[in-house]
A and B are shown apart, each in its own frame.
Chain A
Amino acid sequence: MTIRTLLIDDEDLARLEMRHLLSAFPEIHILDEASDASDALDKIRRYRPDLIFLDINMPGKNGFEMLTELEESPHVVFVTAYDEFAVRAFETNALDYLLKPVRPERLEKAIATVREAGRELATPVSTSASAQNYMLRRDSLVFIKDGEKCFFVRLSDIFLFESEDNYVRVYFGTEKPLHRKSLNMLIEKLPPELFFRANRQQIINLENIKNIEPFFNGTLRLTLHNGMRVEISVRRAGEFKERLSL
């Protein structure tokens, strides 16, 4: 199995060093390199790599800012020279990061993690997909940054999206960070077999419904697996019943 990889770092020598270190791993296929965030965004959308090595401190947008612009994130291994802020963000998450200069053993461990995750990740490459008509899949990774906390979450693990002002609160596990995207933009990219718009404010994951009961005036009340309650508006109730009977 090859892991299609993109290297992102603003320093030529840092990329050279990464290439050198990665030459020890035959399954790593380096597609290309990018030297800043906008270059990287172009190349990620073009190549749809499985994995990126991402420098955090870059001119223009930094690594985190770059990730928040992507609809879907590849697997990410962060690489940083010294950044207290970044390391703090990782503490709450199961993300991997490497410190420069990178130790080969540490790199091996990071790649082993990617390999592990990659078994479920092998997907056909969609080279023609532009940002507009691009659809997320159930195993797509979404990067969410809320303040100092960062999350990579698999789409199928999210059980509820809820609009909050101009953004979306995303519920998964025990977390509910704020995602800087709008609900309307999101619904167009979500796979319709998995997500359903329950009302103006909420989108639910259909696999996460524990209980359905009739409520007032033709509305329905759902209980999710985590105990949260969601109401299906009258307008949406018909379509909801249709969807479930299928």
Chain B
Amino acid sequence: MFQFSPKKEMQMFFSKRQAYWVSQVFGWSTFVVYEIVNLLGLGFFSWNNAVLMLLAAPLGVAITHIYRAILVRWRVLEMPFTQMAVLALVAVFGLSTVLFAGLILVSWALEGAPNWAEVNANYVFMSILNWSRYIFVWVLIYHLFGLMERINRTQFERLASENQLKNIELQNLKAQLNPHFLFNALNSVKALTHSDPKRAGDAVMLLSDLLRYSLNYEKQTLVPLTDELAVTRDYLALEKIRFNSRLEYALDIDPAAEKWPIPPILLVTLAENAIKHGIAQSVQGGFVRISARLENDKLWLTVCNTGNLLPKSGHQGIGLDNIRRRLDMLFAGKAVFDLKNDLEQNTVTAAVQIPAF
């Protein structure tokens, strides 16, 4: 799986920080050169004007830099687009005003008090508008870069999460086919082909039914309990071939419950768990008992096996997590799943209550 690392993307040429400062210096020097050429061309050049422009550049850097700090602090670049655009426009005029005010103070210091008669509302407004052209360019570029980065990042995140999803699906598929069971079953069948060919044939049929069911079950959300019971019986019969006297099993099914809809593969998964943790781990073996009955308009399914929950294996495996998740999704939290360990009886019981769909 590939890792999500936006930082690496940015380090291609400049670091992000370097790029920012290069742009600042380059942008504001261009501004100075442009203004001086402009003044010269129009014949308005004076040393005072030139010095004012030279001082305007660092002032511009300072003001926009403070603006950037505010953007970062308030996470403005992560806001919805329209909200960000409105804020940016307000900022353009705000920053221009500050810049203009700053320059007034500078020229006051340089040239003495301004001629107050000339400073009317019109002059102030036009000056701010004049400065806002430059600030506008700065804000536009900065926000566009921010937006681009945001788009890149969300795309990257989406790809990463899609990738993760695919991985989970693959793992589920692998877990479903349970290679350990499959190859051991095939090995048993191979042994039977010379010792008991008829039983070998039966085992192949059981295995194909089970495989077909586990490859197709996802097409249905719910199946009648009888269907699921049929495959569970196939599965147990196969494991009986494998474990022989180490496995005893019994099913106690209330006929009234047979039509009740349940999520497919649920019972097989529970039976598999019972065998994996109860029978395969024990030298003497044990039993698996499955029962189903209707009570209070609910189906009560239990799978009970000999053995104990191991305290060391804190997680209950992918199988049981999946069951919980699927039940929650299908029955909106109304289905109950419970795993109990009876230490006196040395049994583990998985119990599921399934409401009507």
Known pairs A13-B187, A17-B191, A99-B183 / 16 extra A-B pairs, C-beta < 8 Å: A10-B280, A13-B192, A17-B188, A17-B190, A57-B180, A57-B280, A59-B281, A59-B283, A81-B180, A81-B184, A82-B182, A83-B180, A100-B183, A100-B186, A101-B183, A101-B186
- Total number of B residues with any Cβ neighbor in A under 8 Å: 21
Within the assembled complex, what's the spacing in Å between the Cα atoms of A13 and B188? 6
Question: Which residues of B from 152 to 200 have beta carbons under 8 Å from A?
Answer: 179-180, 182-184, 186-188, 190-192, 194-195
Partner of B282, one of A13, A16, A59: A59
Binds A, one of B241-249, B259-267, B287-295, B341-349: B241-249
Residues on B with beta carbons closer than 8 Å to the beta carbon of A100: 183-184, 186-187
Give the nearest-CB partner of B279 in chain A.
A59
Give the nearest-CB partner of B184 in chain A.
A81
- Total number of A residues with any Cβ neighbor in B under 8 Å: 21
Residues on B with beta carbons closer than 8 Å to the beta carbon of A11: 184, 187-188, 242-244
Residues on A with beta carbons closer than 8 Å to the beta carbon of B190: 17, 101
Judging by beta carbons under 8 Å apart, are B280 and A14 in contact?
no
Within the assembled complex, what's the spacing in Å between the Cα atoms of A101 and B194? 14
Contact with A along B29-42 (1 / 0, CB 8 A): 00000000000000
Residues on A with beta carbons closer than 8 Å to the beta carbon of B186: 100-101
Contact with A along B78-106 (1 / 0, CB 8 A): 00000000000000000000000000000
Q: How far is the CB of B313 from chain A (nearest CB, A)?
A: 15
Give 25 CB contacts A-B under 8 Å.
A10-B283, A11-B187, A11-B244, A12-B244, A13-B187, A13-B241, A13-B244, A14-B184, A14-B191, A16-B191, A17-B187, A35-B283, A59-B281, A59-B282, A60-B281, A60-B283, A81-B179, A81-B180, A82-B179, A82-B180, A99-B183, A100-B187, A101-B183, A101-B186, A102-B187
Q: A72 at the A/B interface (Cβ < 8 Å)?
A: no
Q: A50 at the A/B interface (Cβ < 8 Å)?
A: no
Judging by beta carbons under 8 Å apart, are B283 and A101 in contact?
no
Within the assembled complex, what's the spacing in Å between the Cα atoms of A83 and B194? 26
Main secondary structure on B side of the interface with A: helix
Within the assembled complex, what's the spacing in Å between the Cα atoms of A46 and B195? 30
Partner of A20, one of B183, B191, B280: B191
Ranked 3 nearest A-B pairs via Cβ: A17-B191, A81-B183, A100-B187
Give the nearest-CB partner of A15 in chain B.
B191
Q: Which of B186, B188, B194, B241 has the most CB of A within 10 A?
A: B188
Residues on B with beta carbons closer than 8 Å to the beta carbon of A16: 191, 195
Judging by beta carbons under 8 Å apart, are A82 and B187 in contact?
no
Q: Which of A13, A17, A38, A100 has the most CB of B within 10 A?
A: A13
Give the nearest-CB partner of A37 in chain B.
B283
Q: With A36-B283, A59-B280 as given contacts, are A14 and B187 in contact (CB-CB < 8 Å)?
A: yes
Within the assembled complex, what's the spacing in Å between the Cα atoms of A82 and B187? 11
**Residues of chain B at the chain A interface (Cβ within 8 Å):** 179-180, 182-184, 186-188, 190-192, 194-195, 241-244, 280-283
Contact with B along A36-58 (1 / 0, CB 8 A): 10100000000000000000010
**Residues of chain A at the chain B interface (Cβ within 8 Å):** 10-14, 16-17, 20, 35-36, 38, 57, 59-60, 81-83, 99-102
Give the nearest-CB partner of A60 in chain B.
B283
Residues on A with beta carbons closer than 8 Å to the beta carbon of B280: 10, 57, 59
Judging by beta carbons under 8 Å apart, are A81 and B187 in contact?
yes
Main secondary structure on A side of the interface with B: loop
Within the assembled complex, what's the spacing in Å between the Cα atoms of A38 and B179? 27
Give the nearest-CB partner of B245 in chain A.
A12
Residues on B with beta carbons closer than 8 Å to the beta carbon of A81: 179-180, 183-184, 187
Q: Which of B184, B241, B242, B244 has the most CB of A within 10 A?
A: B184
Q: How far is the CB of A38 from chain B (nearest CB, A)?
A: 8
Within the assembled complex, what's the spacing in Å between the Cα atoms of A59 and B241? 17
Q: How far is the CB of B6 from chain A (nearest CB, A)?
A: 33
Within the assembled complex, what's the spacing in Å between the Cα atoms of A159 and B281? 39
Q: How far is the CB of B350 from chain A (nearest CB, A)?
A: 20
Judging by beta carbons under 8 Å apart, are B242 and A13 in contact?
yes
Give the nearest-CB partner of A61 in chain B.
B283
Residues on B with beta carbons closer than 8 Å to the beta carbon of A10: 280, 283
Q: How far is the CB of B190 from chain A (nearest CB, A)?
A: 4
Residues on A with beta carbons closer than 8 Å to the beta carbon of B244: 11-13
Residues on B with beta carbons closer than 8 Å to the beta carbon of A14: 184, 187-188, 191
Residues on B with beta carbons closer than 8 Å to the beta carbon of A83: 180
Residues on B with beta carbons closer than 8 Å to the beta carbon of A99: 183
Q: How far is the CB of B195 from chain A (nearest CB, A)?
A: 6
Give the nearest-CB partner of B203 in chain A.
A13
Q: How far is the CB of A97 from chain B (nearest CB, A)?
A: 13
Give the nearest-CB partner of A14 in chain B.
B187
Give the nearest-CB partner of B188 in chain A.
A13
Give the nearest-CB partner of B179 in chain A.
A82
Within the assembled complex, what's the spacing in Å between the Cα atoms of A38 and B187? 24
Within the assembled complex, what's the spacing in Å between the Cα atoms of A162 and B195? 52
Residues on B with beta carbons closer than 8 Å to the beta carbon of A101: 183, 186-187, 190
